[in-house]
Amino acid sequence: MTTAYLAQDSKKPDNWLQDLIRNVGAASSAESQISTRARESSLCVLCKGSRNLCGKTRCPIMVKVNYYLKSVPLMASADIDGVSPPSVFIGRVGYPYVYAGPLVPPVHEDTAIFDQPESWFGKSIDEIVGFRSLLVRGKHRVNVTDFASAGKIMDQTRELALAETSVDIELNLTKKPRGSIFMDDDVQPFGPSAPIRDLHVGNNRFNQHIEKAYYDTDLRAQPAVLELYSRGVAVSNIQKAFSVGAFGVEKKRRLVPTRWSITAVDDMIGKDLLAQVKTFPEINEFRVYESTYLDNVFEILMIPAKWSYESMEAWYPGTVWNPNGTSVAIYSDAEENQGRTTYAAIGGCYYSARLAVCEQLLKERRQATVVVLREARPGYIMPIGVWQVRENVRNAMRQPPSKFNTLNESLRYISGKFEIPLQQWIIQGKLLRKALFQKRLTDYFSRP
């Protein structure tokens, strides 16, 4: 199906966002450095940021515009001089020929927080959009299987991904960086970008564990990832190094688009933890763990049974994955004890939540059937990445759980925390229905 777009230079009278940008204080610079696009069917075209047609508590487009306008004066040149968190981005459009390069904010300070999701829990949407909007993305076209011969720019991009601390960068672009605001509420916030003319990376200290894996060209990628995780290297740092082809047998190394690398690393670590978890005894009570952040309410149910796992997400009308719906939409995916062989339909969130619950079960040396329930409410105005799910579930695991003797008691407790009726969750949930309605042999033995 072909989707029509309204371009920046559209003469249509409903290109209201470009008019707004044109009329602000930084008019000439902002207008040349920020483009806008919209689907003709988008509610944003009708709403114009003021009528709340999407049902959200705030307009996500206006939040992005606000931070773009603040960042434009810092990017008035094609030469960006700043401190990278460190951070890199590998695109996926046009695969296997993709854009790769550093992310550099035009500021001179400790910028580690700009690309450190493990430290973002508790930050506001505005703070996170602010971090992302300041990161200028340099773009260099590379073949993912032939990146080793792509020259200095790719070499320095890879070195940046292996760094342990923030790094001084001189990023010379072919033109002033340009941002694009897509008038839709399911697009993550990103900073402006431009092709790279030259790149200079300052003194750079590698993370010693990542450096060791990088130079071991006989070590396969999966064992490298698992070894780094066992050494306490942050998951986000492993994901960055994985994306620039830092791991694996030398001849098989390749770039991995950032989005894919995040899920791949979550999946590899989760499976390894899970193999250990399955060897432990079952928990002996029903538990409910909880976390609420950015209007995402998580209730995680653990059932005393062998490992199986289900992740369920409920999206209100007007929220990120249900923008035009008239009723709540619930998505789910599950795996039985033997695991799964296909990609989860709900995407990367499935794997990030599974990793977090396995960390807790491994810590306790127990196994359980786990159901992760997520209610995304209208205050969650835009997607900000699967890290939010991983860190939300990790936060829940850090809190003492509520404990119950029966499944019905635990479900009644969860029902009191959610606005969506419990029946809707049960109808959609494969493992929930199984736990409620399928008798086990032990149930008969326990009868008086």
pTM of the model: 0.88
- Identify the pLDDT of residue 30: 54
- DSSP state, residue 143: E
Model confidence pLDDT, tens digit, residues 212-259: 999 999 999 999 999 999 999 999 999 999 999 999 999 999 999 999
Measured CA to CA, the distance from residue 165 to residue 147 in angstroms comes to 24
Lowest mean pLDDT among 41-45, 399-403, 419-423: 41-45
pLDDT of residue 3: 32
Residue 135 makes CB contacts below 8 A (sequence gap 6+) with 85, 87, 103, 104, 105, 114, 115, 190, 191
pLDDT tens digits for 84-100? 999 999 999 999 999 99
Whether 149 contacts 57, CB under 8 Å:
no
Nearest residue to 73 via CA among 28, 125, 132, 17: 28
**pLDDT tens figures, 69-128:** 778 778 889 999 999 999 999 999 999 999 999 999 999 999 999 999 999 999 999 999
User: How many other CB atoms are there within 10 angstroms of residue 99's CB atom?
Assistant: 20
Per-domain residue ranges of the chain:
5-73, 74-201, 208-276, 277-445
- How crowded is the C-beta side of 307, counted as CA atoms within 13 Å? 24
How far is residue 72 from each of residues 188, 190, 201, 313, 331, measured CA to CA in Å?
19, 13, 23, 36, 38
How high does pLDDT run on average in the chain? 86
Band of residue 437 on the pLDDT scale cut at 50, 70, 90: confident
Which tokens go with 147?
């990146």
> Average pLDDT for residues 266-275, to the nearest whole number?
97
Name residue, tokens 């795996």. Answer: 335
What is the arithmetic mean of pLDDT over 254-281?
A: 97
pLDDT of amino acid 48: 56
3-state secondary structure 422-448: HHHHHHHCHHHHHHHHCCCHHHHHCCC
What span, in angstroms and rounded, lies between the C-alpha atoms of 430 and 333? 8
Q: How many CB atoms lie within 10 A of CB 16?
A: 19
Q: Tell me, what's the pLDDT at 310?
A: 97
Res 56 pLDDT > 50: yes
Residue 281 and residue 303: Cα distance in Å, rounded? 13
